[in-house]
A and B are shown apart, each in its own frame.
Chain A
Amino acid sequence: QVQLEESGPGLMQPSETLSLTCTVSGFSLTSNGVGWVRQPLGKGLVWMGTIWAGGSTNYNSAVQSRLSISRDTSKSQVFLKMNSLQPEDTGTYYCARHGPLFDYWGQGVMVTVSS
């Protein structure tokens, strides 16, 4: 069955670079895209970016200058890297299969940015 699982550090310092991994199973990254969605604590959902089946990427302009999404198809993993972290980057980060449109989601990983 389709599954996605996020992993990464829970606590980050301001100005550091966040690295998250989304490990997928039940589908191929060369057949389906994967997107990242952030949810600040107690708030709504914000799309951050997607890596498509062909390997191209699209980013939300709000974070585009700080964000990079890549993948390792042999390991069925998608990576999110975001630099220059600020406290407002605190929240839960989800990966979701994109294409079909967000039909499966991971359980999310909470990231806190604090000194």
Chain B
Amino acid sequence: DVVMTQTPPSLSVAIGQSVSISCKSSQSLVASDKNTYLNWLLQSPGRSPKRLIYQVSKLDSGVPDRFSGSGSEKDFTLKISRVEAEDLGVYYCLQGTHLPLTFGSGTKLEIK
């Protein structure tokens, strides 16, 4: 199984600061169709997960452009610029290139 190593496990930031979350996979996530199936999800408190970014860097509709994704092969980053209060929750990376699908262990974002 592909292991998704996500760091840091938690972050505490002030409103307006920027943060980055890392996700490293144990195998390349480039699929046979040349796409890279790496998503970023946010699970706000008490809510179901919501997809923010798909295929490494493509923002879902309605997601603020303060969010950005980057990376390739085995090394990926989610960046949140100018954190807002509504950004708090747990962020997960998810790889969909290989079965079984696997998630990172999550990064809990708290607001100072």
Contacts and interface: CB of A to CB of B under 8 A. Distances in A.
Contacts of A100: 54
The main secondary structure of chain B at its interface with chain A is loop
B39 A45 contact: no
B92 A45 contact: yes
A107 to B, nearest CB: 5
Interface in B61-92: 92
The main secondary structure of chain A at its interface with chain B is strand
A46 interface: yes
Interface string A88-110: 00000010101011111111100
A44 B50 contact: no
Interface residues of A, number: 22
Contact of B92 (A44, A60, A98): A44
B103 A46 contact: yes
B91 to A, nearest CB: 11
Given A61-B100, A103-B60, A44 B54 contact: no
Interface of B: 37, 39, 41, 48-51, 54, 60, 92, 94, 96, 99-106
